[in-house]
């Protein structure tokens, strides 16, 4: 998974498997924060797998294990 953080504090990520041509968009949020308007617009245009919102490292590990199991 590639994670990035911009200077304004925005953090996001995308898990990509190049061999299978698959990409899962991932948004990392803390607490009960919601998607902002730009993020909602992206989700509306995105035609791939559903955006995943992860709230902590436990959710991230569980989700990554689930994706890996389904892809195997």
Tokens representing 1 are 């998974």
Does residue 3 carry a pLDDT above 80?
A: no
pLDDT score recorded for residue 70: 77
Range of the structural domain that residue 54 is part of: 2-71
Does residue 5 carry a pLDDT above 80?
A: no
Q: What is the pLDDT of residues 8-51, one digit of tens each?
A: 555 555 555 554 667 778 888 888 889 988 888 888 888 888 88
- How many domains does the structure of the chain reveal? 1
User: Can you tell me the mean pLDDT for 46-69?
Assistant: 85
Does residue 62 carry a pLDDT above 60?
A: yes
Question: pTM (2 decimals)?
Answer: 0.64
CA–CA separation, 49 and 43 (whole Å): 10
């Amino acid at each position: 998974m590639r994670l990035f953080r911009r200077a304004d504090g925005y953090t996001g990520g995308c898990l990509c498997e190049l061999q299978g041509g698959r990409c899962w968009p991932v948004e990392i949020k803390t607490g009960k924060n919601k998607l902002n308007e730009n993020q909602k617009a992206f989700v509306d245009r995105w035609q791939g797998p559903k955006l995943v919102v992860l709230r902590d490292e436990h959710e991230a590990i569980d989700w990554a294990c689930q994706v890996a199991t389904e892809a195997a």
